[in-house]
Amino acid sequence: MKILGVYNIKGGVGKTATAVNIAHLAASSGLRTLIWDLDPQAAATFYLRVKPKVKGSMKMLRGKRDLDEVIKGSDYANLDLLPADFSYRNMDLLLGDSKKPALQLLKLLRPLAQHYDLVVLDCPPSISLVSENIFRAADALLLPTIPTTLSLRTMEQLLDFMQGHGLNTPVYAFYSMVDRRKRMHLDIISSPADPRCTVLETTIPYATEVERMGLERRPVTDYAPRSTAARAYQALWDEVKARVGGLRPLSDFNSPF
Amino acid sequence: MHLSLAFFDSFDWRLHAAGLRLLQVATPQGKVLRLKNAAGAETVDAVEISADPGWPADLPDSDLRRKVADLLEMRVLLPVARVDCEVTGLGVLNEDAKTVVRLQMLRLNCDSPEVREPRTLWPRLRLVAVKGYEDDLAALAARLADEWEWPRAPDCLFDEAVAAVGREPGDYSSKLEVPLKPGTMAVDALRKVMRNLLDTLERNIAGARADLDSEFLHDLRVATRRTRSALTQVKHVLPDDVVSDFRQRFAWLGQVTGPTRDLDVFLLELPRYRASLPVAMANDLDILAVHLRAAQRVAQQKLKRELGSVQMRTLLDDWHAVLDADEPPGEPGWFADLPVERVAGRRIWRMYRKVLKDGRAVFSGGHAEDMHALRKDCKKLRYLIEFFRGLYPQPALKGIIRALKDLLDNLGEFQDLEVQADTLRGFAREIADQESDSLSTVLAIGALVADLLRRQQAAHERFAGCFSAFDTPDNRAQYKALFKSGDPQQG
């Protein structure tokens, strides 16, 4: 089982859209995929038409209740969701209570390894104990970044934090919500980024199809699979899959026999 | 989504006999092999493959391969039934338009090499649970079953697919089992046994000609040998002319199939030969292996021609005519009209007495030739018992067959090892003549021959024990009770 964290300190960078579309592509390629909506805003949960409510969420986070019991199937084969819960806003306090606070998330995820090939964590913005947990649990971090000066600053903040905490989880940044008509976007994309992270080739364009996800309540890769945005997510997923490695589904996934 | 499913087993259903089904699922993305139990549950992890499975040894290294290879031994995997499956995905939605039950509509068409027209199986609706919405699935399933009275399909498609292509699990077995009733006329009973043997023989011809695996030819030869034995050992039942004619013609079939079988045996033994040599010498058999394979290919080509020849065709047709006619042509044998149990009992009893007498002679200091002759008689005795086993109570037969089999195994080992040693010497001579750099091969064969002869000696030393276990008062009493009176017991 591989764990992929989709993260940015800054909100509104296309993080949830990335998590949902990538998880959908992974699942339709045959990987048993779980997306964990860790953001109390519950956007991923909303996109997948699940009610944002986890019975006994506190118990679950304390490890007193199996994650498996609260997982919900999505509309797609192989794609399950661990829904968000409003109580997640207090997750820092909860994790802080445990013995090894920075490793609590990984401990919770471990029993799922036999059921899932891939777990995508849709992370809340900001840097906190929750984020540190995510950095430690993930095999790789996917960092959607808008090509603006402010976004680049938050990227550096993250990389400083990781360096400071001795974290060497690979960070794959990619440019998101790219508007090719904006000079600054193009300039930033073409200039070298912070060498402590890898910048992926794929860029995700700013597109109204992606915004429609809130109306459709489906991944754009499902309702507009041939759109520029969906193709970009496919390219992104291909790149991430190759970088992370070890993700190969059986050829006859979803077979009824 | 379109899937091709195919079930595989050996010709003699070894996987099925072990309660297993081997299923290949082919999608545009690739092929997967699954080994399931009769209830449809997977017993080991699935394995990805690139081509249809054939030899178990060629499958990717896995638990699945080990399990299948252990059961199949020298047999190859063949497709039993193929099913084309068209899957249409549907969903049951809740008030939020969220899928709570996934449905798969399956349209299934069955196809196999033996079937001319593809048959359509019953379509199926498969309910797939969505995690966290199990109650919705249960409600739907209950409604389909109770209100609409839709029958529940078995999880595994195997039985349905196999039936659709006109096969039946276990429809081939090399074991001879002919149900016979006491009181049947000997000529009818004997012909029934012979028809069974002819059926076995005929069913193995295609596989033997194509050399799918070595067991086709082996079973064909066993059926031939049994037929010859039935012709000569069950005397005065069929017309004499028929016996003398077909004795010769089946002897011909025995001869033309012999060379290939002999080479098959060596090829099957090769891994054991290698294992018996010191590691440093194991590769010295490579030239022998090449030599054997080349010789087998030549012999196989000849065999293929012989089995497809006019002589073969007329043998089978003429034999059918004898067995299928109301009465066999010619003057009936003296015993033709007797009840089969009298003929069978008398023949078995006589052959048993002969085996006892000759065996005791060998026991008290016999020679190798005597052991060979004893083996032949033991084999005749075993065949006779097998032809007519349907007449006798099975539990009683089981014990005497086991004792006889143990003795036969010992005698067989004694002879086979000698024949193998002799033949290997011949190969050594040929290789020495034909190959320039043959010294290490010849030396390795020498080591093999020494090992075989040592084992033969050991078999000789074990003979006394094996024969004593056969010649017990208990076993003698069993034979007497079963066969001497000529009136078989019911049971």
Q: What CATH topology corresponds to B339-491?
A: CHAD domain (1.40.20)
Say which residue the tokens 């021959």 belong to: B449
Residues of chain B positioned with their CB less than 8 A from the CB of A30 = 29
The pLDDT of B449-474, averaged and rounded, is 94
Q: Which residue has the tokens 């005749």?
A: B380
pLDDT at B491: 34
ipTM: 0.84
Average pLDDT value over all residues in chain B: 92
Q: Which CATH superfamily is domain A2-244 in?
A: P-loop containing nucleotide triphosphate hydrolases (3.40.50.300)
The amino acid present at B273, given as its one-letter code, is Y
Are A233 and A210 contacting, i.e. CB atoms less than 8 angstroms apart? no
Query: How many helices (H) and strands (E) are present in chain B, helices listed first?
Result: 15, 8
Average pLDDT estimate for B264-290? 92
How many C-beta atoms lie closer than 10 Å to residue A33's C-beta?
A: 27
First to last CA, chain B: 56
- Give which of B382, B311, B325 is closest to B191, Cα–Cα: B325
Tokens representing A60 are 């679950």
Query: With contact defined as beta carbons under 8 Å apart, do A217 and A210 qualify?
Result: no
Given a contact cutoff of 8 angstroms between Cβ atoms, the answer to whether B35 and B21 are in contact is yes
Q: What's the pLDDT score for residue B164?
A: 87
Tokens of B403: 């004792």
Quick one: average pLDDT of B228-242?
A: 93
Q: B-chain residues within 8 Å CB-CB of A252? A: 3, 25-27, 29-32, 46
Q: pLDDT category, A96, cuts 50, 70, 90?
A: confident
Note whether B5 contacts A257, CB cutoff 8 Å: yes
* Mean pLDDT of all residues in B11-22: 96
Tell me the average pLDDT across B2-19. Answer: 95
Residues of A in contact with B124 (CB under 8 A): 256
Give CA–CA dist B316/B250, Å, rounded.
Answer: 10
Q: Which residue has better confidence, B340 or A54?
A: B340
Taking the domains of chain B in order of start, what are their residue ranges?
2-155, 173-338, 339-491
With cut-offs at 50, 70 and 90, classify the pLDDT of residue B451. Answer: very high
Percent of chain A with pLDDT over 70: 100
Judged by average pLDDT, the poorest of A54-63, A83-92, A185-194, B459-468 is A54-63
Alpha helix ranges (H) inside B6-93: 14-17, 63-72
Task: Output the pLDDT for position B112.
Answer: 66
DSSP B325: S
Which of A98-112, A156-170, B135-149, B409-423 shows the lowest mean pLDDT across its residues? A98-112
Residue with token string 């149900």 = B179
Q: Is B2-155 in CATH node 2.40.320.10? A: yes
B131 to A71: CB separation less than 8 angstroms, yes or no? yes
B286/A contact by beta carbon, under 8 A? no
Q: What is the pLDDT averaged over residues B330-358? A: 92
Topology of domain B173-338 in CATH is: CHAD domain (1.40.20)
Judge whether A254 is closer than 8 Å to chain B, CB to CB: yes
CA distance B131 to B241: 76
Which amino acid type is present at position B392?
Y
pLDDT (average), residues B215-236: 96
Note the pLDDT of residue B490. Answer: 41
A73–chain B Cβ distance below 8 A for any pair: yes
Q: Binning pLDDT at 50, 70 and 90, where does residue B489 land?
A: very low
Highest mean pLDDT among A13-27, A242-256, B21-35, B385-399: A13-27
Which among B343, B490, B474, B468 has a CA at the least distance from the CA of B400?
B474
- Topology agreement, domain B2-155 and domain B173-338: no
